[in-house]
Amino acid sequence: MRRSTPACTYDRSACIPFLGLLLLGQQAVAQGTSATGVLVQLFEWSYSDIALECETYLAQAGIVGVQISPPQEAIEDPAWWSRYQPVGFTKLVSRSGDQAALLDTVRRCQAVGVQVIADVVANHMAAPPAGGTGTGTAGTTFQNRTFADFAPTDFHHWNGSTAGNCGVDNFADRVNVQTCDFNGLPDLNTTSSVVQSKLSQYIGLLHSLGITAFRLDSALLMSASDIQGFMGTAEASLVYQEITLPPRCTIAPQEYLINGKIVLQDYAYSMFTAFKSGQLQGLQAQPYASDKLIVNIDSHDLQRQSPLTSLTYTDGKLYELANIFMLAYPYGQPLLMSSYSFSAFNQGPPSVPVHGADGSLSCGTDQPWVCEHRTPSYKVMINFRNHTSQALVTDWQILMGGAMVAFSRGSGFVAINTAGI
């Protein structure tokens, strides 16, 4: 159970009331100028594929940043979630490639104006197979709460014993959320100066490779001040913290703004609700400041939730229209998703590369890699966003009982019709 569950998802089935609030609670138009570039998550892509993608597509399409899968050493396991179970922070060897390949990719992407964004998993370490010894992707072995870089005392633990810890089971209790083990994964004591200094060294190592942009995984499971403790000295160009707010959670997303931006799943949920129901009138109301928010329609976590509460590539045109809205509307900094096709929760990435040696692409809904970000209309909309970056939304119109939305931005005009899809 614990090893087949992702490290950063929660049961969303109880969240619908919260969504209702999000959509109906605020009538004011939340928007800002979109002077922030479009990003893409190339989930589980190899470094060599990412470098080729920067050079052959992303730069021309106007995409300015690419979020890679976590680069640290992780538990050796074919499932996608293994990337989110760190074994160590000194050897950058993962399924995507080694440190030399990462450095090459950072340089090649930067050369064409695309920055690499590292996904940083700092909250917890890996759980070994039931009580035994585990192996990392760089060959490092580890045991139950004992790693090359961390001793049992470096983890949150029971009072009087370092052998184990409480489990996260009460989102109304901040201490429970931020100091207990989530899904059985040993929870690093991110308050401790020993742990903070090791995490800072990891950020420094990434920095030395030229990486200045960071996504912080499972941020809610760490206190904002702990994150500040290990990120504080990093000269980051962009930081966004993954915040998944379960019902009754008493931790406020705003606490995390001291460290940078936040990426909230609520945006994806509200888009799902609006587009699935054909009730687009709620799309204007969002409660957070535009310049503090990264927005996405789905992510590697969201597209594996059951039941689904986000749109994914399996929604076809509806998914495309939601992305078009996200790119057209000046709210938040958009993060496009790029997936591989999967039919089982644990399924890891395809074994074939995205870019074939002959220049062919393994991309499409009938291919191993989906490459949603290459949808032709997104390129058009990134250009639209660029040309209308200083213009606010005017002429907001809801037609056909909510199934159609249209609005202007300066000399640009967008109309989105979900009827019949």
Ligand X SMILES: *[C@@H]1O[C@H](CO)[C@@H](O)[C@H](O)[C@H]1NC(C)=O
Q: Which residues bind ligand X (CB under 6 A)?
A: 35, 37, 62, 131, 144, 156-159, 163-166, 189, 191-192, 386, 389
Q: How far is the CB of 175 from ligand X (least distance, A)?
A: 6
Tell me which of 44, 53, 187, 217 is the catalytic residue. 217
CA distance 188 to 191: 9
For the question of residue 242 being annotated catalytic, the response is: yes
Question: In this structure, are residues 114 and 229 in contact, taking their beta carbons and an 8 Å threshold?
Answer: no
Question: In this structure, are residues 256 and 219 in contact, taking their beta carbons and an 8 Å threshold?
Answer: yes
Nearest CA-CA partner of 323 in 86, 80, 40, 68: 40
CA distance 200 to 206: 10
Select 176 or 279, whichever has its Cβ closest to ligand X: 176
Q: How far is the CB of 386 from ligand X (least distance, A)?
A: 4
Select 157 or 379, whichever has its Cβ closest to ligand X: 157
Select 56 or 277, whichever has its Cβ closest to ligand X: 56
Q: How far is the CB of 122 from ligand X (least distance, A)?
A: 14
Q: How many angstroms separate the most distant Cα atoms in the chain?
A: 66
Select 46 or 190, whichever has its Cβ closest to ligand X: 190
Q: How far is the CB of 394 from ligand X (least distance, A)?
A: 19
CA distance 204 to 212: 10
Q: How far is the CB of 285 from ligand X (least distance, A)?
A: 25
Q: How far is the CB of 330 from ligand X (least distance, A)?
A: 11
Tell me which of 242, 298, 315, 372 is the catalytic residue. 242
Select 389 or 408, whichever has its Cβ closest to ligand X: 389
Q: How far is the CB of 189 from ligand X (least distance, A)?
A: 4
Select 159 or 208, whichever has its Cβ closest to ligand X: 159
Q: How far is the CB of 229 from ligand X (least distance, A)?
A: 10
CB atoms near residue 129 (< 10 Å)? 12
Select 189 or 286, whichever has its Cβ closest to ligand X: 189
Question: In this structure, are residues 228 and 196 in contact, taking their beta carbons and an 8 Å threshold?
Answer: no
Select 163 or 400, whichever has its Cβ closest to ligand X: 163
CA distance 42 to 215: 13
Active site residues: 217, 242
